[in-house]
Amino acid sequence: MKTKGAILWGVGEEWSVEEIELGDPREGEVQVQLAASGLCHSDEHLVTGGTPVAFYPVIGGHEGSGVVTKVGPGVTGLQEGDHVVTAFIPACGQCPPCSKGMQNLCDLGANLLAGTAISDGSYRVQAQGKDVIPMCLLGTFSPYITVHQASVVKIEPDIPLEIAALVGCGVTTGWGSATRVADVRPGENVVVMGAGGVGMNAVQGAAAAGAKRVMVIEPVARKREWAMDLGATHVFESAEEATEKVNELTWGRMADKTIITVGDIQGEDVQTALSLTGKGGRAVVTGMGNAANTDVKLSLFELTLLQKDLQGAIFGGLAPRAAIPELLGLYQEGQLKLDELATTKYSLEDINQGYQDMRDGKNIRGMVVYTDADR
């Protein structure tokens, strides 16, 4: 079918909304008519070149929701009309990581940035006669996607699709970074560095886990206000300000857990997080940085003698097939705020403005919302 999509033709360029050709589902695949797509900072790393891909062009987007419109041969558990959320990490349920309870590290994710379809190694999207890499094998910056069944999770049909898209990446990543990877316990002091689409949900997760204090470091004033609305107890403009106050609030013991959720992590952020973390505490690295950046500031003396943990995290350490419906269930019961996260909605044609607004700190999460005019 012919539709449209936001294509990136090279590093440093803007997203180009143009006609694309989308293939029909093959073995194990479904086609989905999307309702919405989140504007995640991870796609910005494609623009800056921080995330390497096999080649350009790339169709962006990996946080979406919609309705299954076509089902390919060999698909099980999905049918036309089902409501689904995309998972930027596919989950087969059978590979060694999945079998060990680590769906977020599924082996099917090996080609996330190569763009080759899981089913047969070919490409489902073409633009101007060229193969196009879909971000995370999804490419939700288009009103239609053809993806493998391992990359979508069925949800209840009464959940608003525009909001459901949020749990495909940012919400789950942030929530799990606090509840699973950091393993926040009741009464603990938690620091969250960066209050964007992921960090705000680390705040929600830490608060829900019973943290005594959820202390947020965020340079943008409006985001500090939003963080307080979503469960933060204290907010600081800078790490320097936070260090003094965290020391005072905890009587010198510092944070039990620190979670780094800045949009573009730098090497010095790791040492900052460790310095904010007390003896025997844990610092979680959730934010993404440039793939070529291998320099990290780290006091090995402090790491060893104060027995601190430094832990990476992808998808919040959660299993997509379990976490996505669970979090949407919390939303339905009023225990997780999602509506408040979608601060501005855009048409696909306004995607570059959406990303400029993200750079300017104007949103928690900008959302592209598709209408009948897009199809």
Q: How far apart are CA 331 and CA 283, in angstroms?
A: 28
Q: Give yes or no for residue 24 having a pLDDT over 80.
A: yes
Provide the mean pLDDT of the chain: 96
Are the C-beta atoms of 345 and 369 separated by less than 8 Å? yes
How many angstroms from the chain centroid is the CA of residue 340? 17
**Spatial CA neighbour of 147 closest among 86, 188, 235, 196:** 86
Q: Which fold has domain 175-313?
A: Rossmann fold (3.40.50)
Residue 288 tokens, joined: 């993404």
Share of the chain above pLDDT 90, in %: 97
Question: Which pLDDT band holds residue 301 (cuts at 50, 70, 90)?
Answer: very high
Cβ neighbours of 280 (radius 10 Å) = 11
Q: Average pLDDT of 260-285? A: 96
pLDDT digits (tens, 9 = 90+) for 83-137: 999 999 999 999 999 999 999 999 999 999 999 999 999 999 999 999 999 999 9
Q: What is the CATH number of domain 2-168+337-369?
A: 3.90.180.10
Lowest model confidence (mean pLDDT) among 162-176, 201-215, 360-374: 360-374
pLDDT digits (tens, 9 = 90+) for 304-318: 999 999 999 999 999
- What SS3 class is residue 167? helix
- What SS3 class is residue 367? strand
Q: How far apart are CA 293 and CA 54, in angstroms?
A: 18
The amino acid at 337: K
Are the C-beta atoms of 136 and 112 separated by less than 8 Å? yes
Are the C-beta atoms of 95 and 80 separated by less than 8 Å? no
Tell me the angle at which helices 351-359 and 41-48 cross, rounded to the nearest 10 degrees: 100
Provide the pLDDT for residue 313.
97
Q: Average pLDDT of 67-91? A: 97
Q: How far apart are CA 315 and CA 173, in angstroms?
A: 4
Q: Give yes or no for residue 349 having a pLDDT over 80.
A: yes
Q: Give yes or no for residue 184 having a pLDDT over 90.
A: yes
Share of the chain above pLDDT 70, in %: 100
Q: Average pLDDT of 164-178? A: 98
Provide the pLDDT for residue 29.
98
Q: Average pLDDT of 203-213? A: 98
Q: Give yes or no for residue 375 having a pLDDT over 90.
A: no
Q: How far apart are CA 64 and CA 45, in angstroms?
A: 18
Q: Is the dihedral of CA 279, 309, 197, 102 positive or negative?
A: negative
Q: Where are the domains of the chain?
A: 2-168+337-369, 175-313
Question: Which pLDDT band holds residue 372 (cuts at 50, 70, 90)?
Answer: confident
**Spatial CA neighbour of 318 closest among 174, 152, 141, 198:** 174
Q: How far apart are CA 216 and CA 199, in angstroms?
A: 9
Q: Is the dihedral of CA 278, 293, 313, 8 positive or negative?
A: positive
Q: Is 53 left (phi over 0), alpha (psi -120 to 50) or beta?
A: beta
End-to-end CA separation in angstroms for the chain:
11
